[in-house]
Amino acid sequence: MCQIFAGQDPERYETVTRSLRLNGQSTSIRLERAFWRILDDIATREGLSTPAFISRLHGEVLERHGEARNFTSLLRCACTIHLGEDPHLSRPAIAAE
């Protein structure tokens, strides 16, 4: 069983930092390459660039919760939802403006 996990290409879990603007502020986000690939896919499916998708998600989190604590962890969890990790959670489309 562990060969499935241990045998993966190290490039997959190499961390990559991307600079972007979240609601007008310059910042950088550091995630494993595998998560960036998933976020790129989600953004493409939503018809957005990855920075635009992440910025919109960040704005929605602020609107709902007033803050975006541990936003990189939220992004990782969003990826697991996208991949169907939790059958009780649906994959709702981003709310239209």
Task: Write the CA distances from 57 to 7, 12, 36, 48, 93, integer angstroms.
Answer: 33, 24, 15, 11, 11
- Find the CATH number of the domain harbouring 75: 1.10.3990.20
* Domain encompassing residue 55: 10-82
In a domain, 97, yes or no: no
pLDDT above 70 covers a percentage of the chain that reads 86
pLDDT above 90 covers a percentage of the chain that reads 74
Report DSSP letters for 24-75, one per residue.
Answer: TEEEEEEEEHHHHHHHHHHHHHTTS-HHHHHHHHHHHHHHHHSS-TTHHHHH
In a domain, 90, yes or no: no
In a domain, 92, yes or no: no
In a domain, 23, yes or no: yes
In a domain, 76, yes or no: yes
**Would the pTM of this model clear 0.85, i.e. be above it?**
no
pLDDT tens figures, 18-57: 999 988 899 999 999 999 999 999 999 999 999 999 999 9
The label of the residue with tokens 């976020």 reads 39
pLDDT at 97: 40
In a domain, 61, yes or no: yes
The dihedral through the CA atoms of 38, 43, 49, 52 has a sign that is negative
- And the tokens for 22? 């979240």
In a domain, 96, yes or no: no
User: How many structural domains compose the chain?
Assistant: 1
